[in-house]
Amino acid sequence: MKVKVWREPEIIAWTDVLLQSYQKLLGHELIESKEDEVERAKALFFAPFVVASHGTEKDPILNYGNQMALDLWEMSWEDFTRTPSRLTAEPINRPEREVLLERVAKQGFIDNYQGVRISSTGRRFFIEKTIIWNLVDGSSLPCGQAATFQSWRFL
């Protein structure tokens, strides 16, 4: 039985950070607005596209992955949310990823990233049309970065 992480208060709050930051930076909603916060969290968790985020640690740790992200990276919620986000890319692709994240930090978002990622079992996949955006909390303080995409192919 899968744990319903989207019902946890901290995940509900984080969902709002993800959605509000996205809407503020990109000018439109990531998912259709729902009045109930639990329903918003559930809708994002089961969205038909990938959403993942990490915090602001020196070596950022993944702190959210919806079901599509967990399936694609072949991880449980527990494993995903203990993984340094740099490990989603192969070692050869990590310098490019770092430059990209620095660019996002300065610009606020990018909406055209593509690149190769790798699952926990070593399965490589190419992502495209990826949006990466900065996350800010209720006080407008930086609290991480997130990515979403709905197009990938296994290599």
Residue 26 has pLDDT above 50, yes or no: yes
Q: What is the band of 1 on the pLDDT scale with cuts at 50, 70, 90?
A: very low
* Other CB atoms within 10 A of residue 58 CB: 5
In the chain, what are the domains?
5-154 (3.30.450.20)
Crossing angle of the two packed helices 37-45 and 9-26, in degrees rounded to 10: 80
Residue 3 has pLDDT above 70, yes or no: no
pTM: 0.93
Q: What is the band of 120 on the pLDDT scale with cuts at 50, 70, 90?
A: very high
Beta carbons of 116 and 93 less than 8 angstroms apart: yes
Please give the Cα distance from 155 to 149 (Å, whole number). Answer: 17
Beta carbons of 25 and 134 less than 8 angstroms apart: yes
- Which token pair is 52? 């993942």
Q: What is the pLDDT of residue 129?
A: 95
Q: What is the pLDDT of residue 2?
A: 57
Please give the Cα distance from 146 to 117 (Å, whole number). Answer: 15
